[in-house]
Structure 1
């Protein structure tokens, strides 16, 4: 996913992230219309069984931690909150805001495909209040209390770049999850939005989703132990009328929450904890300040005492837990987009990655093979032949996880909007997926003249 303001000017990149064009008469056409895919392929075990050593650890925990440190030290798309503030100058804050808060120069449409009035858009721009940034900004710090959207502008208005493009929300950037730390560096004119810097993104968030606390408390929260890591796609805490702020709270894959140190024989929010983990979750008091509240997460749900080992089997299993989840640009629709999908999968194994495809594909910390116009088709096919399960394959605006080979065809799992291909009779067909899908890679096309293989910009391998 790229910043929407940039994508609108080049919609082809956005469509590349959601539509795969395939032409291969040799592949079977099942009733689903998803070319080359049979029901057996929709199980992770099908692909894991093809691996020689699926449980070999690819990187140790120490190696992953060291890579994460290098990521925050050297990757410009990542932010080490320990180094932000407590005092910032106006130019730095304004630069962060201007980077994301850029109104597209094309007409934006509302949910009914009607043009949004210029006065409405002007009011949104005014709410940014760039002229209100003081010469010296005192940063505040907070923890996210529930999953919430990150926006390019301080508004909940939904805007779209063209008719029928409701899967591309113009002001949607990304998302934050419970327990995510942020530095608050600006407030909107109406006081309802914070401009925040999080470890992987800087954007606008509703102030009601952030509990403001002492800097040391906020930054120490993520390092507390013991903890649980969410290894399922989406889990929910136990329902509790006694503590509605943490009742049935959604926790997405890769979220790490410390455990509350409470007596095991005492009820938590009206329920005994013996068959649940007692989490220590941040909540927002009525004055906006940070508090902590215990909440129960059932032991039977998919969580772990630490990040999962980085193995090919775990990469495949974690990716398949999202199979069939609806595509969501910037984590919209309670889902995720192509880059959000791969980063959440790897996050469950402790690997930190940039948010957007472009930053992921060229991160100075990750091992990648870049491709240019000088690389011919044969060179790219050779790279596919040498790909390993779990490798990330990038084309402009899109990323896929390499699954392996089946009957001489390479396959991927990715968050994709649909497939356009020629059937056995040469007729162009279209199948909408709009979800995390298993598909063949060859011979996917971006256009009639450009294949996915020939559009590859990078192949990333997560290794020491």
Structure 2
């Protein structure tokens, strides 16, 4: 009896050790990669990566796209496009925040609130006065897929479309039945936002806000205050605000910020933001400046669709490019179509790596695999090094898939986790499915 108990104890100890060791194994290609974006480009830190005329063309396009919602006189999207969520999620089993199945009545309620037959019911200019989330339906309530499946459940709320940063111009197309939500379009996405997070824009506000000179916030979590010291919103990398045409205050930029008044209209106020946190755009496209911004973003938690004001892979790259005046769409499948495209789908692992190192431009070359986008920032011993925000590495054990969670913005190789004992044979190695690169900037190849 004692011998049997001893054997059982040893078996349990071995199983526990195996389970723990798999999670404790350092991720090769990440743990041994220095988290400093300036370590891999091999260039002079002040090298200009883009000719001035090309950067100015790119910047003009960014501003045109940024303010394009204010030029619209009708929605850009049809009703079928605006309410795509009902076709996509209506037939599926969705789970709520309590991990239980949502009832059929929940989807019916979303349809009732959306007032589809009345679309479009608005035709107004607006602006985000807070950082806010675009939602597929007019609700804060989440909808998850099966919590038991790897890569599903929390935090993958399928109603979360995209974060919209304060100061983003919007076109308002539709109002919800309870008048609490507005369906808006920005330069990069569309969806429902709380009405309290926007302000209505008239000609007077637009003329004040479109100064022609703009500044980018250069780090995350910068509190933006008005001149009375009242907190208004939090600035992040990717926030773009106009510079007030006045004498520059030493050590600060006078930025115009939008504030919602009691009538729901946007009014301009001023925020003096220290020049350590904000700079006039476009900034010089040098390795030093890219390094500074990327290093400020490293370690930020992964944010599905911008949840909690964090970033997913495509939002990280879109926001990173704003200070340099480079436009990127919101989704990875569209981002890779920008710039000079090169297909790598038929290449071997070695060929892909050699091609990237030979033809890629550090900080300007995007790397794409289905569902994920990364930025090439240089190489280490012939291995391409990338910056990206990633959820995790696909694992497999006894036919069951899982994830070795990374959960944030990191610098890694394209074969991070190749040493993991439970690395999935199919999809575990990112390099397996890398299909293309594209070097910015450029005209969309659509």
Query: TM class, shorter-chain normalised?
Result: 0.7 to 0.9
Q: Does the C-alpha gap of structure 1 residues 231 and 88 become closer, same or farther in structure 2, counting only changes over 3 Å?
A: closer
Unpaired stretches in structure 2, ≥5 consecutive residues? 1-21
**Equivalent position to 1:404, from 361, 378, 396:** 378
For 2:361, the equivalent position in structure 1 comes to 388
1:437 maps onto 2:437 in alignment: no
Distance 1:461 1:404 in 2: 13
Q: How far did 1:263 drift?
A: 7.8
In 2, Cα distance between equivalents of 1:44 and 1:88: 41
Report the counterpart of residue 157 of structure 2 in structure 1: 169
Instruction: Give, in angstroms, the shift of residue 449 of structure 1.
Output: 3.7
- Shift of residue 319 of structure 1? 1.7
Partner in structure 2 of residue 57 of structure 1:
48
- Secondary structure at 1:249 match in 2: strand
Measured after TM superposition, the shift of residue 409 of structure 1 is 2.5
Q: Map 1:304-319; keep pairs closer than 5 Å.
A: 304-319=279-294
Further displaced range: 443-452 or 396-405 = 443-452
The alpha-carbon deviation at position 152 of structure 1 amounts to: 0.9
- Alignment of 1:46 onto 2:24: no
Cα 1:298/1:316, change in 2 over 3 Å: closer
CA distance in 1, matches of 2:362, 2:114: 44
8 Å contact from structure 1 (residues 316, 403) kept in 2: no
Q: Please report how far the alpha carbon of residue 207 of structure 1 lies from its aligned counterpart in structure 2 after TM superposition.
A: 1.1
| Residues in 2 aligned to 1:120 and 1:243: alpha-carbon distance in whole angstroms | 42
Say whether the 8 Å CA contact 1:323–1:437 is kept in structure 2.
yes
Tell me the alpha carbon deviations over residues 162-214 of structure 1, each in whole angstroms, 9 at most, x when there is no partner: 21621211100111112110111111111111111111112111111110021
* 1:150 to 1:107, Cα distance in 2 relative to 1, 3 A: same
Pairing partner for 1:98 from 74, 83, 104: 83
Aligned pairs (5 A) from 1:371-386 = 371-372=344-345, 374-375=346-347, 377=349, 379-386=351-358
**Using the alignment, how far apart are the partners of 2:402 and 2:87 within structure 1?**
37
SS of equivalent residue, structure 1 residue 80: helix
**Post-superposition offset of 1:280:** 1.7
- Preserved CA contact (<8 Å) 1:444 1:452: no
Please give the per-residue CA displacement for 1:394-451, whole angstroms capped at 9, x wherever unaligned: 10000111132223432212111223579xxxxx996422011122213667941454
1:289 aligns with 2:282: no
Q: Distance in 1 between matches of 2:112 and 2:158?
A: 17
Q: Is the 8 A contact 2:33 2:411 kept in 1?
A: no
- The correspondence for 1:224, drawn from 208, 211, 230, is 211
How many residues are aligned here?
405
- In the superposition, relative to structure 1, how do residues 405 and 274 fare at CA in structure 2: closer, same or farther (>3 Å)? closer
What is the deviation of 1:226?
Answer: 4.3
Sort the Cα spacing of 1:235 and 1:61 in 2 relative to 1 into closer, same or farther, 3 A.
farther
* Structure 1 residues 303 and 170: alpha-carbon distance in aligned structure 2, compared to 1, 3 A threshold: same
* Counterparts in 2 of 1:257 and 1:430: CA distance versus 1, 3 Å: closer
1:448 aligns with 2:425: yes
**CA drift at 1:94:** 1.4
Contact 1:175 1:331 in 2 (8 A): yes
Measure the CA separation in 1 of the matches of 2:402 and 2:119: 53
**Aligned mates of 1:40, 1:252 — CA distance in 2:** 26
- Map 1:65-464; keep pairs closer than 5 Å: 65-67=56-58, 80-81=68-69, 83-85=71-73, 87=74, 92-99=77-84, 102-104=87-89, 105-133=91-119, 139-163=123-147, 165-215=153-203, 217-218=205-206, 220=207, 223-238=210-225, 242=228, 244=230, 247=231, 249-260=233-244, 276-299=252-275, 301-363=276-338, 366-372=339-345, 374-375=346-347, 377=349, 379-386=351-358, 387-390=360-363, 391-419=365-393, 431-442=404-415, 447-450=424-427, 451-463=429-441
Is the 8 Å Cα contact of residues 36 and 291 (structure 2) preserved in structure 1? no
In structure 1, C-alpha distance between the alignment counterparts of 2:279 and 2:31, rounded to whole Å: 32
> Whole-Å Cα distance in 2 between the matches of residues 298 and 101 of structure 1?
45
Query: SS at 2:94's partner residue?
Result: coil
- Taking the aligned partners of 2:349 and 2:31, their CA distance within structure 1 comes to 28
Q: Residues 208 and 268 of structure 2 are in contact (CA less than 8 Å); yes or no, is this contact kept in structure 1?
A: no
Shift of 1:96: 3.7
The unaligned stretches of length 5 or more in structure 1 are 1-28, 265-272, 423-427
Q: CA–CA distance in 2 between the matches of 1:57 and 1:101?
A: 47
Q: Secondary structure at the match of 2:34?
A: helix
Moved more, 454-463 or 92-101: 92-101
Aligned pair in 2 of structure 1 residues 39, 337: CA closer, same or farther (>3 Å)? same
Q: Secondary structure in 2 aligned to 1:291?
A: strand
CA–CA separation in structure 2 for the residues paired with 1:197 and 1:282: 17
Decide which moves more: 448-457 or 319-328.
448-457
Paired residue secondary structure (2:188) = coil
Offset of residue 281 of structure 1: 0.9
Relative to the length of structure 2, the TM-score reads 0.80
